[in-house]
Structure 1
Amino acid sequence: MLTTLAKLIENQSDCSSVTGYVASDPLSSFVLDGLLPRDHELYFTEWSESIRKANKNIPNLKTVLINTSPYHNGGANAVQELGIAAATGVFYLQQLLGTNLNLEQALSKMIFQFSIGANFFMEIAKLRAARILWDKITEVYGTEMDWRGMQIAAETSTFTKTVYDKHVNILRSGNEAFAAVIGGVQYLHVTAFDEINTSSSFSERIARNTQLILQEESFLQNVLDPAGGSWYVEELTRELAEKAWRFFQEIEANGGILDVLKSSWLQHRIAVVNEKRQLDIFTREKSIIGTNVYTNLDDNGFEEEKWSSSHFSPNELNGQISIQIIPQMRLAEPYEALRKRAEVLKVKTGSQPLVGMIGLGNLKQHKARVDFVIGFLAAGGITGVASESIISVESSIEFVKNSNLTHFCLCGSNEQYEEIGHEILVTLKAIFPDRIFYLAGLPKKEQQSQWIQEGIKQFIHVKSNCYETLSTILEDLKVTKVE
């Protein structure tokens, strides 16, 4: 790419006015495709030579990209992103110094790209800490102060975006863009709220206007360092820089960025962090508005575009060796898969997946738990059907019989459970043995066995693994209604 660009303008008399960046990051492409050139030393020698030739013809164009987005989209945290950026920057710097480029020329070719996530203050601190790390590294190389600066291109995160309730993505991108500007980036790309599929002219206009509002209406361009002097941001930046420096040292101690990718050491470290992220989403410790909380069941979503399969041309694929890829994902994908399962079930059965809510006692006694369970079920595309107030065994029998549903959840206060809940459950299981029953809330440990013996399949409560529970319910509904 760089050699082609150099050829296109080699006959121009003056290319010094060409600025910006047209850059490549081979390492990020390797980890996306799971392919590494067998003779990677020769590959990087030729790559470095193309950088040198491009510099000769286009001296002010940045052509070396350190792109941390693939690691971000694989679930890496801020510390890992910074450590990877530092290690990748050092690796490329070493490659470039093997050509006729001097230190200042090599540094002038480099631009760092970060994806900006949802944690507002953490992302500001991440960008500020990145500059601290790079300043430290370039100082070790003996670089003059004027050449130690880091040029940063930022983009709003794909990892945080959702298919369902897609207009919430506008708020997410706005928050992320704001953090990027406060963090002091030189280039900013705001993704369209529906870019997961195919962006529209409307969504692209919203994305452009997000930047214009930050610039023209928030006046952020008039402040040199908006976050400077904030004790919280400064302390978070310092802590993040220290942890990232230690992670960078770990990478170097294991042979550098290329070796940790070849050995899958880095991929494993990122996977551990991503598993914790997924668990937080599954248990709803972390919220995704419109996905695992406040779900809009009227939103049918839209078709999702798959990630690009390869970043190499056919000629480059010869003589490759395999390395472990870092899967590119979005945090909301598991819940979106549940919603799609519910949609498939709806097509097969002709109706939305439904679970009946048996509200014990008066409205005040059962409403809180009925609302909780309805919201809980909605994350999996399941609709909760609430009963009238159930104050007797007879009214519960009538509701179950008339609803024509197969799954029910008992909802009420702890007092109602003890006063009438056990009697209702035992009676219903005796009359309707094929029905499946859940209980809202988590009884004391010594009481749980009694509920299970009487017919409760699962307890639904604030500490439940929402994803696993919904997956089980959908599978039960599929067996009951389809098979």
Structure 2
Amino acid sequence: MTLNKMINETFEAYTLETWEKKSEESLKGKSIASLSKNTYENILLKPLYSKEDLKINSTGQFPGQTDFRRGADPAGYLSSPWKVAQRIDAENGEELRKKLHASFERGQTAISFHLDKDIVKDFVKIIDGIYATFAFGIEAGNDQAEVLEKLSDLADCDKVSGYIGRDLLQIASNDGLKQEYDKWSEMIQLFDRKMPNLRTILVDTSVYHKAGANAIQELAAALSTGVQHIQELLERGMSLEKILSKMVFKFSIGANFFMEMAKLRAARILWSKIAEAYGAKSEEQKMVISAETSPFTKTAYDPYVNLLRAGNEAFAGVLGGVQFLHVSPFNEPEGKTTHFSDRIARNTQLILKEEAHLKNIVDPAGGSWYVENLTNELAEKAWGLFLKIEEKDGMASVLKTGWIQEQIAEVMKKRNEDLFMRKQSMIGTNIYANLNDHPLQNVMESLEANHALPNNRLSEPFEKLRRAAQRLVQSGSEPKAGLICIGELKKHKARADFMTGFLAPGGIKADASENIDHPKSALQFIQESNLHHYVLCGTDKQYDELALELVHSIKENYPDVRLYLAGLPEESKQAALQQAGIEQFIHAKSNCYEILTSLLSEMEAEVNE
């Protein structure tokens, strides 16, 4: 082939139908549809997306243009980088002041920390020298009025920016909302005169996220809460322009990378639509987003995996177009972080910004048929749920009646089912658990948030099992189950390894036998190990040849021993094995959590402590 011919050579153009045909050939009889996957949002994710999947033309829009799916700023982070808003913890005001100043020297770009009684008392001292230079990113709760009053008395308070926000629906009781909105409206307008660039109205969806909500529920809650704030404040004399200029939306970013990115893009579309319906100008329709990596996805066991989880979530948040970002330190579930964990969390953002150069790009997901389709589907479904909430008299009403809690609880139930069945993997928790792992200490238990919305971490059920097992170890009774390994290693290894991994999430150690090829060697292993639970591990053929003989012999000599079998024999063979003494068949579709709970209970572990 000549050079000229090589330059002009082109690849053959293939149709979607041709691709599907070739793919189905490689799937050996399965259809392309078998590769599709449903999400907790009831959105079907396909293996391939094309131009035809877009119901509306969303690929020709530029950033900074209505509906703002591609971001609020035409130049993206080039002109307005996201704020590194790591929430800083400290024992007292002086320690916090030192930590804040040190953080700003190391890449922090927003003033962000937790408020408590002592911190509020020392607030002025803490922010001295930085309040007019750096933007705030604080969720103030019931301390908002006191903090704003202290801030408004300072020189150059008109230069204060960012947000010190409060979401009234997450704090006030429903019965007192009218009076709370009266006071809140007066406060917002009062401090706006001195600090016009500071946002004070927070729409906090993180409480729904931590209760287990899916992306559609989070978006609908954001819209309905935002609309309620607008309506209440309009009725109290505030202008639409002023209300919108004071609002900031908080989202937690979960583990589903593309879904979370699309969630933020859909949020901007929907809020633009609502603001436009109220008569807002294009510039006023822009949404300011503060995000945090999800506390819901973090684990107490194998906590360094939290570093990877937070990095993935932070990446999705940045590509989704946040303005403020907090990356959770890997030991945040303890409620107290360290210098090391704080530094690594902050550096995660700096790597994304400086090494991955995400500060130099503008909506890289824009135009992706997959991301655009996902964005559109989320927006459409969230809008439908928002309308349903409004039909029920709005967010305050559905919180009071418990309707929204019931909807979220259904999703959380499904999440738990998938975790228990190991359809959903959590490394170090329900899969690849390390029995020698040292968990985070003094992990905070879930608390009931306002309106009985639970503050969950997905891994907690398995962590309770691990703690129960640890209490057994401390009492001198290590939780173990024996593996009766039939035949040579290459035949029993797969199922023995499976059982070792299956037991570990409950803190139960697998004690494997030598090669077992006769009932006598099995009886000897049981006598030497002196355990109460044993699992037969071998191939289906070995089960056919030896399992019944083994079970009969073991039950005859050790009637109190509980026997299990790794794998799922054909239905026609199950009855005989069960009649002989097999308690349960443990296989890939077994409920891992239920079986481990039962085993630990039989080992006299207090699982529910």
Q: Is the pair's TM-score, using the shorter chain for normalization, greater than 0.5? A: yes
Q: Which residue of 1 aligns with 2:504?
A: 378
Aligned residues of 1:67 and 1:85 also touching (Cα < 8 A): yes
Within 1, Cα distance between the matches of 2:162 and 2:474?
51
Which residue identity is paired with 1:146?
E
Q: Give how far 1:19 is off.
A: 0.4
CA deviation map 1:390-420 (0-9, x unaligned): 1112211111111122210001011100101
Match of 1:173 among 275, 290, 310: 310
Q: Classify 1:55/1:309 alpha carbon distance in 2 versus 1 (closer, same or farther; 3 Å).
A: farther
Q: Classify 1:347/1:5 alpha carbon distance in 2 versus 1 (closer, same or farther; 3 Å).
A: closer
Within 2, Cα distance between the matches of 1:425 and 1:463?
23
Q: Classify 1:53/1:422 alpha carbon distance in 2 versus 1 (closer, same or farther; 3 Å).
A: same
**In the alignment, structure 1 residue 40 sits paired with structure 2 residue 182:** no
CA deviation map 1:33-76 (0-9, x unaligned): xxx15332112111122111121221110000001111100000
Within 2, Cα distance between the matches of 1:441 and 1:231?
41
Q: Which residue of 2 aligns with 1:409?
A: 535
Identity %: 50
Q: Classify 1:29/1:11 alpha carbon distance in 2 versus 1 (closer, same or farther; 3 Å).
A: closer
Q: Aligned-pair RMSD on alpha carbons?
A: 1.7
Which residue identity is paired with 1:389?
N
**In the alignment, structure 1 residue 21 sits paired with structure 2 residue 163:** yes
Aligned residues of 2:448 and 2:455 also touching (Cα < 8 A): no
**In the alignment, structure 1 residue 240 sits paired with structure 2 residue 378:** yes
Match of 1:114 among 248, 251, 255: 251
Structure 2 residue ranges without an equivalent (≥5): 1-142
Within 2, Cα distance between the matches of 1:308 and 1:337?
12
CA deviation map 1:229-263 (0-9, x unaligned): 11111110000110100010111011100000010
Match of 1:448 among 570, 574, 594: 574
- 1:87-126 to structure 2, matched below 5 A, reads 87-126=224-263
- 1:131-210 to structure 2, matched below 5 A, reads 131-197=268-334, 198-210=336-348
Match of 2:187 among 50, 60, 70: 50
Q: Give how far 1:8 is off.
A: 2.7
| SS in structure 2 at match of 1:478 | coil
Within 1, Cα distance between the matches of 2:447 and 2:303?
25
Q: Which residue of 2 aligns with 1:272?
A: 410
Which residue identity is paired with 1:238?
N
**In the alignment, structure 1 residue 84 sits paired with structure 2 residue 226:** no
Within 2, Cα distance between the matches of 1:273 and 1:304?
28
Q: Which residue of 1 aligns with 2:116?
A: none
| SS in structure 2 at match of 1:384 | strand
Q: Give how far 1:464 is off.
A: 0.5
CA deviation map 1:402-450 (0-9, x unaligned): 1122210001011100101110110011011111111001122222221
| SS in structure 1 at match of 2:482 | strand
**In the alignment, structure 1 residue 332 sits paired with structure 2 residue 469:** no
| SS in structure 2 at match of 1:303 | coil
Q: Classify 1:305/1:412 alpha carbon distance in 2 versus 1 (closer, same or farther; 3 Å).
A: closer
Q: Classify 1:310/1:14 alpha carbon distance in 2 versus 1 (closer, same or farther; 3 Å).
A: farther
Q: Which residue of 1 aligns with 2:525?
A: 399
Q: Which residue of 1 aligns with 2:434?
A: 296
CA deviation map 1:324-358 (0-9, x unaligned): 4111110000000000111111122x142111100
Q: Give how far 1:375 is off.
A: 0.2
Within 2, Cα distance between the matches of 1:40 and 1:112?
20
Which residue identity is paired with 1:16?
D
Within 1, Cα distance between the matches of 2:408 and 2:213?
5
Within 1, Cα distance between the matches of 2:488 and 2:305?
36
Q: Give how far 1:114 is off.
A: 0.2
Q: Classify 1:74/1:378 alpha carbon distance in 2 versus 1 (closer, same or farther; 3 Å).
A: same
- 1:211-250 to structure 2, matched below 5 A, reads 211-250=349-388
Match of 1:438 among 564, 580, 591: 564
Within 2, Cα distance between the matches of 1:281 and 1:222?
38
Within 1, Cα distance between the matches of 2:362 and 2:249?
20
Within 1, Cα distance between the matches of 2:228 and 2:589?
45
Aligned residues of 2:448 and 2:454 also touching (Cα < 8 A): no
Which residue identity is paired with 2:167?
D
Q: Give how far 1:306 is off.
A: 2.9
Q: Which residue of 1 aligns with 2:473?
A: 346
**In the alignment, structure 1 residue 252 sits paired with structure 2 residue 400:** no
How many residue pairs are counted as aligned between the two chains?
Answer: 463
Match of 2:484 among 358, 381, 385: 358
CA deviation map 1:254-307 (0-9, x unaligned): 110000001000010000110000000000000000000000110131324436
Within 1, Cα distance between the matches of 2:187 and 2:414?
41
Which residue identity is paired with 2:519?
V
Q: Give how far 1:363 is off.
A: 1.1
CA deviation map 1:459-479 (0-9, x unaligned): 111110100000001111228
Aligned residues of 2:302 and 2:439 also touching (Cα < 8 A): yes
Q: Which residue of 2 aligns with 1:33?
A: none
| SS in structure 2 at match of 1:65 | strand
Aligned residues of 1:3 and 1:54 also touching (Cα < 8 A): no
Q: Which has the higher contact order (CA 8 A, sep 6+)?
A: 1
| SS in structure 1 at match of 2:419 | helix
Which one is further off, 97-106 or 372-381?
97-106
Within 2, Cα distance between the matches of 1:96 and 1:224?
34
Which residue identity is paired with 2:316?
A
| SS in structure 2 at match of 1:154 | strand
| SS in structure 2 at match of 1:16 | helix
CA deviation map 1:100-126 (0-9, x unaligned): 321111100000000000000000000
- Runs of 4+ in structure 1 over 4 Å off: 9-14, 307-311
Which one is further off, 224-233 or 412-421?
224-233
| SS in structure 2 at match of 1:358 | strand
Within 1, Cα distance between the matches of 2:234 and 2:515?
77
Which residue identity is paired with 2:381?
K
Q: Give how far 1:227 is off.
A: 1.2
Q: Give how far 1:176 is off.
A: 0.4
Q: Which residue of 1 aligns with 2:586?
A: 460
Which residue identity is paired with 2:460?
E
Q: Give how far 1:89 is off.
A: 0.5
| SS in structure 2 at match of 1:39 | helix
Within 2, Cα distance between the matches of 1:191 and 1:273?
24
Aligned residues of 1:28 and 1:68 also touching (Cα < 8 A): no
